[in-house]
């Protein structure tokens, strides 16, 4: 049975002290039995990782992710972070291909495939993001577009490696545009992506992959979204910056 997951992406928010306070609040508010229902992950900025890891090391309710990694193991890449560095800092997960990385830093499917490879090689679990813009959505070929993102960045992997990946679908067209993605639209895309994976690999592998919703998920709509049969949780942005909102989303399961 695939895992239910709630992952908080803090993006470029919170000073170190603010991040430690938020982490402590989340750890103290998440019920002890939450791992029976959901895997909880937080992804603070790079500079917080070691300090946050120290807060998380004596508990097993909340797990640590990074927001990005470089596609090379090491080298002359000033300002970048390698997957091995992330692993050594205590991260167990890494977000790859977030829509903001694709848009602002022009990350390509080919580059993201390399990032997935390097993450897996360093025993990090990739949270691979995919999604379509408003233009693609309105053109109507959004399933094909997002499926191609999976194909070009993930389908080189053998079954064993792909089974370690978490997928996060981002309806970019519904983030900050004033438009809203309904639970029905979320379910449509999640089911379509799972079907596409099954066609390339197997029903069993596809059925066991966690596919998260990466739209504007908040306490008011999380329960309805998570009730969709192919929505296995959420990659949470703004709501993850409030301990109460984030934990309320976790409890939506």
Q: Is the pLDDT score of 175 beyond 90?
A: no
Catalytic residue among 48, 63, 170, 190: 170
Tell me the mean pLDDT in the region 186-207: 98
Give mean pLDDT, residues 244-248. 97
Q: Could you report the per-residue pLDDT of 207-238, keeping only the tens digit for each?
A: 999 999 998 899 999 999 999 999 999 999 99
Per DSSP, what are the bridge partners of residue 167? 128, 211
Rounded Cα distance between 150 and 152, Å, is 6
Confidence of residue 174 (pLDDT cuts 50, 70, 90): confident
* Res. 176: pLDDT tops 80: no
* Active-site residue flag, 106: no
Region 85-101: mean pLDDT is 98
Catalytic residue among 98, 100, 132, 190: 98
Q: Which residues contact 106 (CB under 8 A, 6 or more apart)?
A: none
Cβ-in-10-Å burial (0-12, 13-18, 19+) of 189 comes to buried
Q: Could you give the domains of the chain?
A: 5-250 (3.20.20.70)
What pLDDT, on the 0 to 100 scale, is given for residue 216?
A: 87
Would residue 98 show up in a list of annotated catalytic residues for this protein? yes
- Higher pLDDT residue, 35 or 79? 79
Instruction: State the pLDDT at residue 178.
Output: 63
When the pLDDT of each residue in the chain is averaged and rounded to a whole number, the result is 95
Mean pLDDT of 90-106: 97
Place of tokens 């390399």: 114
Give residue 160's pLDDT: 98
């Amino acid at each position: 049975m695939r895992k239910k997951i709630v992952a908080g992406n803090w993006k470029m928010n919170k000073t170190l002290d603010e991040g430690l306070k938020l982490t402590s609040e989340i750890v103290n508010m998440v019920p002890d039995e939450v791992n029976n229902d959901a895997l909880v992950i937080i992804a603070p900025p790079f500079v917080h990782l070691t300090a946050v890891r120290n807060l998380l090391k004596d508990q097993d309710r909340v797990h640590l992710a990074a927001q990005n990694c470089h596609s090379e193991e090491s080298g002359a890449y000033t300002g970048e972070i390698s997957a091995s560095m992330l692993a050594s800092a205590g991260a167990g997960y890494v977000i790859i291909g977030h829509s903001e990385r694709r848009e602002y830093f022009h990350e390509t499917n080919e580059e993201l495939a390399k990032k997935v490879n390097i993450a897996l090689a360093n025993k990090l679990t990739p949270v691979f993001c995919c999604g379509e813009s408003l233009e693609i959505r309105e053109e109507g070929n959004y399933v094909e577009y997002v499926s191609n993102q999976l194909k070009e960045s993930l389908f080189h992997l053998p079954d064993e490696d792909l089974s370690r990946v978490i997928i996060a679908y981002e309806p970019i067209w519904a983030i900050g545009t004033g438009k809203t993605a309904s639970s029905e639209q979320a379910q449509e895309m999640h089911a379509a992506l799972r079907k596409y994976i099954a066609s390339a690999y197997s029903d069993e592998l596809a059925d066991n992959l966690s596919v998260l919703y990466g739209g504007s998920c908040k306490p008011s709509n999380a329960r309805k979204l998570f009730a969709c049969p192919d929505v296995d949780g959420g990659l949470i942005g703004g709501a993850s910056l409030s301990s109460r909102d984030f934990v309320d989303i976790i409890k939506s399961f």
